[in-house]
Amino acid sequence: MQKEIASLIEGYQKFRDQYFSEGNSAFTELVRWGQQPKILMIACSDSRVDPALVMNCAPGDLFVIRNVANLVPPYEDDQSYHGTSAALEFGVCVLGIRHVILFGHTQCGGIQTLLEQSSEGYGQKGFLTKWMELAKPAHDAVHSHHGESSLEERVILCGQYSLINSLKNLQTFPWIAARIKEGSLALHAWNFDMERGLLEEYDEGQHCFRVIRSSLPLKVEKGDIVRKLHEERS
């Protein structure tokens, strides 16, 4: 146990050396002017997927919300406790965020648990079971359209359907919907393939996830369109 804590202390010292050394004004500016991020990311609590690390961001670049399976609940005005919704409100309404990015990933433990549990599992008590009910529409879509696929493929697809479902839930928040309408806020759904190190984005028009291109060379073996989802037009 002491070894793990010692490694954190060593990491803290390296952090101080990098950001608080003589002549380094990075945090001086952040303290002086406050946080002014333009991008909010809703990411998973998974220890392997740090959005700031994947995006090579500096302190102050991202306002990050992390929870199990990077889920977004629908808007509810019930005066209860809503951590994710409160963070969304702070980012959008107080900080003036311009982009909200849902940041999913493959091999998500929450999504796999959702697929592996029986239908009776939804009635079980517990914080995790209740929270994962938010992804039940994704679970049902995979069961209906991809029931013959392998568990690995169904986990990937369920994660992607879940991103699309959370994208819809974001638009139930009135102050998000209003800003989208006026053009001051944009929503995005991205999925990080941990095995291949590739980042995909949801193309709503084509109903598929495409590998995100940059100006830097990127080797992609399977082409632009990574995975076509079942057509579901409401």
Strands in the chain per DSSP E: 39-44, 62-67, 99-105, 186-193, 198-203, 208-211, 225-228
What does the pLDDT look like over 172-231, one tens digit per residue?
Answer: 999 999 999 999 999 999 999 999 999 999 999 999 999 998 766 555 444 444 455 654
What does the pLDDT look like over 149-179, one tens digit per residue?
Answer: 898 899 999 999 999 999 999 999 999 999 9
Q: Could you tell me if 210 and 226 are in contact, meaning their C-beta atoms sit under 8 angstroms apart?
A: yes
What does the pLDDT look like over 66-76, one tens digit per residue?
Answer: 999 999 999 99
Residue/partner pairs of 115-119 with CB below 8 Å, 24 or more apart: 115/139, 115/142, 115/151, 115/154, 115/155, 115/158, 116/151
What is the C-alpha separation between 117 and 72, in angstroms, rounded?
A: 21
Per-residue pLDDT band for 147 (boundaries 50, 70, 90) equals confident
Q: Looking at the chain, how many residues does it have?
A: 234
What is the C-alpha separation between 204 and 133, in angstroms, rounded?
A: 24
pTM: 0.89
Residues of the chain with CATH 3.40.1050.10: 35-228
Rounded to the nearest integer, the mean pLDDT of the chain is: 89
**pLDDT over 80 at 14, yes or no:** yes
Secondary structure of residue 35 in the 3-state scheme: coil
Please calculate the CA angle 202-59-57 and round it to the nearest 5 degrees.
40
b/e map of 143-176 (b: 16 or more CB within 10 Å)? eeebeeeeeeebbbbbbbbbbbbbbebbeebeeb
The separation between CA 175 and the C-alpha centre of its own chain, rounded to angstroms, equals 20
**Torsions phi, psi for 26 (to 5 deg):** -55, -55
Strands in 124-195 per DSSP E: 186-193
Q: Which CATH number fits domain 35-228: 3.30.360.10, 3.40.630.30, 3.30.230.10, 3.40.1050.10?
A: 3.40.1050.10
Burial label for 90, CB within 10 Å (0-12, 13-18, 19+), is middle
